[in-house]
Structure 1
């Protein structure tokens, strides 16, 4: 039997008069992974933050016990984290406990290089010199799969793609070889191949160092590949905790069965029906985008999009897929005026998209990958949705007309009208993304670009949003450019697919053709990296 690293008993969290976590118990053992799953708002992150002493909200109260136990052979005593002093928490955070949070954009310091953010904990907790710490930082960046680590160690967070930022966060968390790693949705923003690398990296860490992991996720495919035991939460209560193989094979609770049914899968012959012939809406020809970045040896040009062409028919969905840094989001930025291409053309129903006026640009709406960064934290949800209505004068009746339309849009994305008075920090990640979708729909666009629009949603809400998008497409003849790393969702949503690698389009085909018979080795590698339906623990036991 493995020794426990963390032991939690009767954990309760209250905010003001309301108790939101109700007496949860769990243990995490050496070299083992506990997966915690549940919908947005189920208490997954709140429970782990409370157990590790990271809740610092006005009116918050935490009770119960959360004991961090010493490593085997250590003469250190047990450390109670509930009610611990700031000095105690500073001593264990970053040293014995490493953290990888869901949103790297808000976790990383934009004013410090990635290398400095890694070396900081090494200098504080391991007393390494600047040179030794920098060498260790480069090794860590290489271990998490970042290209050119000796150069990227001096880059800033804004110079990384979303997936690359998350890999950098993992490097920071692993810097001091923690006994316990808290991973809160660490692969949400990652493409399937990078996700597979991160899962393997964590498993290697456990085999080599006996690291214990708490892995929080709404993605049951990921949880099945990484977890030894699974804890299912709903509305702050634990419904069942069992070995992963047993839970996936024979879930005991109706809610667990609902979650398992809702997870997307790649299924032979699945996908939307082929639409009737329609005229092209968006035509992109020879799109070419380059960026210049600073490195220790001078400036270097990155060819982010290299001579990419595709056509998107009205009323259909075209998916752009590929690894992080393949150019997917850069193409979206060029189409919406956020990025200036070096060459190429893009027309929407015959009109030049790249040189469109502000009024014409509203014909293309975008839902960004990071809802927290795309919503103004100083504005309420209602104000955020009403802004495009006001700017483009889309609703008659002044403020009252906008309020009515905001309520309608909230209802469309499955949120009550009362959410109009809330602010982004009061919402879960999934709720924030639904607000972003409502804001895009407010423009009444001809084309909606969905940049990882469902990546932060739990599986049941994700299924609801995907069905919403399909219904809106049918009813309003909407056209989607769908950027995603989850190939099961790509199959479910898209009529056609363009596969990108290092800025180039390497394969383009109908969805049915691509999933049944991919031509390129790179496409086959993406498909092979999708987590299998059978949990790793069950496969290991059968083997």
Structure 2
């Protein structure tokens, strides 16, 4: 075997046990230079746990890892050394020398991966100074180049910004810049595009592919989205309950999946389909009117304070009993509009009239008429409080559900039933629930306010495709039964098509197009909208599209 033929990472009989329970069962795979291995499966299938164990990042109390995971070094000429370092059971010193240098990591949630107390530039230069021994000035220049390479605007300014001053998509770009800083031989991408809009997702996919072409980087890409896996992967490893269900080239998996579970995942993928969408109501009046909404923020820069116009003169209406979607790239102002409508940020000007009353300047009683379900249910639920307490809190604050504690407990049981959960869940805590169950709790808590408008801010973005389908079915059923009105914020245009009656397209804080959903998807009038639709991953995998 030649040096070039050696895989960058070789995993054999990998097993992970916590306590007496084995949760990863004899996993094995290879990843070669320039190759991408896609690992797919539902939440709890062992995707992330397997890769963390293979790279020496498991720190769960009571966890035991066995088997072998050998990482090989890439030489200056691009060849791969035959000898490698064993990561299973490696010392902390060995792992510190490998992580950030020979292995780069991009995790799903950059807000928890980035240090809020350090500038993004400092978090890039840290590994360059440690592993590459660059001077502070040289490392800063390299950091600016990396931020420019991942598509961040004004990288010479943003290098001194803190993570909270970036949008979600911009934070993920910064996280990728950190991972690529030392030109690693292996890149671990754990759901790196789940929370990103379609154009940013396409750019990240292209960026990783370009890195592979230039540097021969090996990539392990973890995702629940087979649409994304089809565009990035050469081989696909399908996991369920810590076991391999299928491991084959991506085009074979798409063309003729051998396992029933793989077929279920492929069927659950949301797709853009001609003339699809919810049925149009017979007649629906305008319930929420947003007019000339302006929101700006002031941020510090090396040359002084700078004002960012996050929302610039936005106007749109939401029809009663219908779903209006806000779509656009990261930083387009979608979540800022939601935060302004719910009182989380103070707008500079504009009105938002709900059934004749301006909710932007109203009291607490009117505020509850608009509720919100956030993207990450684990972050939005207090881990120290039970499910019942989380739902009862808005009932108590707004004097809803009845005058007594017993009446509010009965109302809590009713709300849990509405979202398809048993009343016994009231005694559980968020960490005892799956991602889909936590999001159902968040929906129940939003329903507790008896809102006239419910804002769904990327409410299914962090869920795997099968769980996502169940939650979307729940939202449609609730809308039909209760006459709910939704303001639906999403980056997945296939889901937008399934859910929405009307679509408002935003770019740089401005409305570029607003029309019924069927017209937007059939005949978009703006070039930007056409670009968003073109960035949606096609149904066919990249390998097959390239061959054809």
TM, length-normalised to structure 1: 0.96
Q: Which residue of 1 aligns with 2:165?
A: 159
Please state how far the C-alpha of 1:69 moved relative to its aligned partner.
2.0
Please state how far the C-alpha of 1:181 moved relative to its aligned partner.
0.6
Matches within 5 A, 1:393-408: 393-396=399-402, 398-399=404-405, 401-403=407-409, 405-406=411-412, 408=414
Change (3 A) 1:84 1:425: farther
Structure 2 distance, partners of 1:188, 1:4, is 28
Change (3 A) 1:410 1:82: farther
Whether the 8 Å CA contact 2:374–2:380 is kept in 1: the answer is yes
SS in 2 for 1:252: coil
Instruction: Encode CA deviations 1:482-522: one digit per residue, 9 max, x unaligned.
Output: 01111111111000000001111010000011110000111
Q: Which residue of 2 aligns with 1:36?
A: 39
Change (3 A) 1:458 1:416: farther
Structure 2 distance, partners of 1:404, 1:39, is 33
2:468 to 462, 468, 471: 462
Please state how far the C-alpha of 1:347 moved relative to its aligned partner.
1.1
Whether the 8 Å CA contact 2:285–2:320 is kept in 1: the answer is yes
SS in 2 for 1:312: strand
1:17 to 15, 20, 23: 20
Structure 1 distance, partners of 2:539, 2:18, is 38
1:131 to 127, 137, 141: 137
Q: Which residue of 2 aligns with 1:71?
A: 74
Instruction: Encode CA deviations 1:141-162: one digit per residue, 9 max, x unaligned.
Output: 1111111111111111111111
SS in 2 for 1:70: strand
| 2:503 counterpart of 1:500 | no
Q: Which residue of 2 aligns with 1:85?
A: 91
Whether the 8 Å CA contact 2:6–2:82 is kept in 1: the answer is no
Residue ranges of structure 2 left out of the alignment (5+ in a row): none
Instruction: Encode CA deviations 1:347-366: one digit per residue, 9 max, x unaligned.
Output: 11112110122222111111
Matches within 5 A, 1:364-383: 364-383=370-389
Change (3 A) 1:507 1:418: same
Whether the 8 Å CA contact 2:371–2:449 is kept in 1: the answer is yes
Structure 2 distance, partners of 1:17, 1:416, is 29
Structure 2 distance, partners of 1:107, 1:452, is 20
Change (3 A) 1:251 1:412: farther
Whether the 8 Å CA contact 1:430–1:456 is kept in 2: the answer is no
SS in 1 for 2:361: coil
Q: Which residue of 1 aligns with 2:322?
A: 316
Structure 2 distance, partners of 1:17, 1:405, is 40
Whether the 8 Å CA contact 1:94–1:178 is kept in 2: the answer is yes
Matches within 5 A, 1:340-359: 340-359=346-365
| 2:337 counterpart of 1:331 | yes
Change (3 A) 1:383 1:8: farther
Structure 1 distance, partners of 2:425, 2:62, is 21
| 2:111 counterpart of 1:108 | no
Instruction: Encode CA deviations 1:362-403: one digit per residue, 9 max, x unaligned.
Output: 111111223343232333444333322332233348555555
Change (3 A) 1:489 1:68: same
Structure 2 distance, partners of 1:414, 1:421, is 16
Structure 1 distance, partners of 2:462, 2:292, is 32
Q: Which residue of 1 aligns with 2:8?
A: 5
Structure 2 distance, partners of 1:83, 1:510, is 57
Q: Which residue of 2 aligns with 1:99?
A: 105
SS in 1 for 2:73: coil
Whether the 8 Å CA contact 1:280–1:313 is kept in 2: the answer is yes
Please state how far the C-alpha of 1:415 moved relative to its aligned partner.
5.3
Change (3 A) 1:18 1:133: same
Structure 1 distance, partners of 2:362, 2:141, is 48
Whether the 8 Å CA contact 2:292–2:350 is kept in 1: the answer is yes
Change (3 A) 1:385 1:50: farther
Please state how far the C-alpha of 1:3 moved relative to its aligned partner.
2.8
Structure 1 distance, partners of 2:150, 2:411, is 45
Structure 2 distance, partners of 1:9, 1:75, is 18
Q: Which residue of 2 aligns with 1:198?
A: 204
| 2:442 counterpart of 1:439 | no
Whether the 8 Å CA contact 2:72–2:81 is kept in 1: the answer is no
Please state how far the C-alpha of 1:431 moved relative to its aligned partner.
4.7
Whether the 8 Å CA contact 2:68–2:88 is kept in 1: the answer is yes
Please state how far the C-alpha of 1:83 moved relative to its aligned partner.
1.5
Q: Which residue of 2 aligns with 1:27?
A: 30
Instruction: Encode CA deviations 1:254-281: one digit per residue, 9 max, x unaligned.
Output: 1111111110111110011111212211
SS in 2 for 1:469: helix
Please state how far the C-alpha of 1:2 moved relative to its aligned partner.
4.5
2:252 to 238, 246, 266: 246
Please state how far the C-alpha of 1:437 moved relative to its aligned partner.
2.5
SS in 1 for 2:360: coil
Instruction: Encode CA deviations 1:265-324: one digit per residue, 9 max, x unaligned.
Output: 111100111112122111111111111111000011111111111111110000001111
2:311 to 305, 314, 327: 305
SS in 2 for 1:78: strand
Whether the 8 Å CA contact 2:8–2:71 is kept in 1: the answer is yes
| 2:233 counterpart of 1:237 | no
2:292 to 283, 286, 291: 286
Structure 1 distance, partners of 2:510, 2:67, is 54
Structure 2 distance, partners of 1:32, 1:415, is 43
